[in-house]
Amino acid sequence: MSDSVWLMLPGRFLQLDRREGKGGIDAIHPQGMKFTKMHGLGNDFVVVAAATLPEGTAELAQAVCDRHLGVGADGLVFILPAESGDCAMRIFNADGSEAEQCGNAVRCVARYYFERISKARRELVVETRAGLQRVWLENDGLVRVDMGYPILEGKAIPTTLDEDTVVDQQVEVKGETFHITAVSMGNPHAVIFVEDAAHFPVEEWGPLLETHSLFPQKTNVEFVTVHSPSELEMRVWERGVGQTLACGTGACASVVAAVLTGRANRTARVHLKGGDLDIDWRPADNRVYMTGGAEVVFEGEYYPFSSRFGK
Ligand SMILES: N[C@@H](CCC[C@H](N)C(=O)O)C(=O)O
């Protein structure tokens, strides 16, 4: 990895040094955008550190995330200067919609920050659309995040299912009965407990539930099997993306739903297709803590609007 990076300013480029204490900015310029491909348990992101959010983020996210014509990812993530906190994160789903929150992406942002912006730091505050999140780098290299408190009031999630809490509420969809527990971790989740998550037809029911009129801002959908009070298995259909290998906010919502329905303890491991997350919903502060990995895959330059060699 080179020590210098490009920063786009209106009409000109600025080359910055990203060695310790000297910057830490990737680049966006008219012809190309430097990025780092990262993932948290296989939930993958194109991560770009920039001075400002570029225009046309919805189209850019769709193009970058395309697995045939772009880099290929579940989401496009920007690391930006923060008003409060050490840095800000904005996350755009593969369909171009912006999410309020993303558990796997915030761990990737933290890893990026700890490795490229300040190697001395082991603690960080990330500003997201859902609020400030405190993040810690653990001794084993995993990243722990304070994901905040779960929102359980129906109207705030939002769902039209109930104004109060929505716990194991019966819903009919195309002749099939589901019991839904709705939880917001800054973004909406519908958690459904099933006998066998591994073989559940996620692709069939996920899109129908994601876009159901009960969820005015759509929803992420988790299909969860409780193997023991401290061990859950989860598959996810993500709003604006489709089936993914993991979802951090979904794992938090699943543990909260399992506790609310008397199925699990407040501390549990969630097995996802891409790996495990440890979730701890602490009674002392009502906040949910998530611990898991975040990895760099490769770096590159993306040429969104013209071919590198043609123009
Ligand atoms: N994969 C994420 C959640 C990303 C946003 C989600 N698709 C939404 O629209 O709310 C996670 O790890 O939490």
Q: Model confidence over 48-95: pLDDT tens digits? A: 999 888 888 999 999 999 999 999 999 999 999 999 999 999 999 999
Q: Is 219 in the pocket of ligand 1 (CB under 6 A)?
A: no
Map residue 110 onto helix, strand or coil: helix
Contact criterion met (CB below 8 Å) for 145 and 137: no
Q: Phi and psi of 199, rounded to 5°?
A: -110, 10
According to the model, what pLDDT value does residue 303 have?
Answer: 78
Measured CA to CA, the distance from residue 106 to residue 111 in angstroms comes to: 9
Global pTM value: 0.90
- Would strands 123-128 and 87-93 be described as parallel, antiparallel, or unpaired? parallel
According to the model, what pLDDT value does residue 30 have?
Answer: 53
H-only helix segments in 193-265: 202-210, 248-260
Angle at 193 between CA 209 and CA 159, to 5 degrees: 40
Q: Kind and range of the H or E element at 63? A: helix 57-65
Contact criterion met (CB below 8 Å) for 168 and 194: no
pLDDT (mean) for 274-279? 98
At 244-267, the pLDDT tens digits run 999 999 999 999 999 999 999 999
Amino acid at 146: D
Say what the ipTM of the complex is. Answer: 0.98
Q: Residue 26: which pLDDT band, with cuts at 50, 70 and 90?
A: low
Token reading at 202: 């996620």
Q: Residue 29: which pLDDT band, with cuts at 50, 70 and 90?
A: low
- Would strands 4-9 and 43-49 be described as parallel, antiparallel, or unpaired? unpaired
Percent of the chain with pLDDT strictly greater than 70: 87
- Does 187 show up as a binding residue in the annotation? yes
According to the model, what pLDDT value does residue 163 have?
Answer: 80
According to the model, what pLDDT value does residue 304 have?
Answer: 63
Q: How far is the CA of 134 from the centre of ligand 1 (A)?
A: 18
Does pLDDT of 96 surpass 90?
A: yes
Does pLDDT of 128 surpass 80?
A: yes
* Region for residue 168 given its phi and psi (left: phi exceeds 0; alpha: psi -120 to 50; beta: otherwise): left
Same fold, 4-147+295-302 and 154-286: yes
Q: Phi and psi of 193, rounded to 5°?
A: -85, 130
According to the model, what pLDDT value does residue 160 have?
Answer: 96
Locate the domains of the chain by residue range: 4-147+295-302, 154-286
According to the model, what pLDDT value does residue 23 have?
Answer: 36
Q: Is 99 in the pocket of ligand 1 (CB under 6 A)?
A: yes
According to the model, what pLDDT value does residue 309 have?
Answer: 45
Q: How far is the CA of 187 from the centre of ligand 1 (A)?
A: 7
Does pLDDT of 206 surpass 50?
A: yes
The CATH classification number of 154-286 equals 3.10.310.10
Class of the domain covering 4-147+295-302: alpha beta
Contact criterion met (CB below 8 Å) for 46 and 109: no
Pocket test for ligand 1, best of 102, 143, 159 (most atoms within 8 A of CB): 102
Tell which residue, 226, 236, 133, has the closest CA to residue 185: 133
At 146-188, the pLDDT tens digits run 999 999 999 999 999 988 999 999 999 999 999 999 999 999 9
**Look-up of token digits 């939002």:** 158
Q: Phi and psi of 161, rounded to 5°?
A: -60, -40
- Least confident segment among 33-37, 214-218, 246-250: 33-37
Enter the DSSP assignment of 97: P
Q: How far is the CA of 263 from the centre of ligand 1 (A)?
A: 24
Q: Residue 7: which pLDDT band, with cuts at 50, 70 and 90?
A: very low
Q: Residue 113: which pLDDT band, with cuts at 50, 70 and 90?
A: very high
**Look-up of token digits 């008397």:** 262
Contact criterion met (CB below 8 Å) for 235 and 251: no
Measured CA to CA, the distance from residue 75 to residue 91 in angstroms comes to: 7
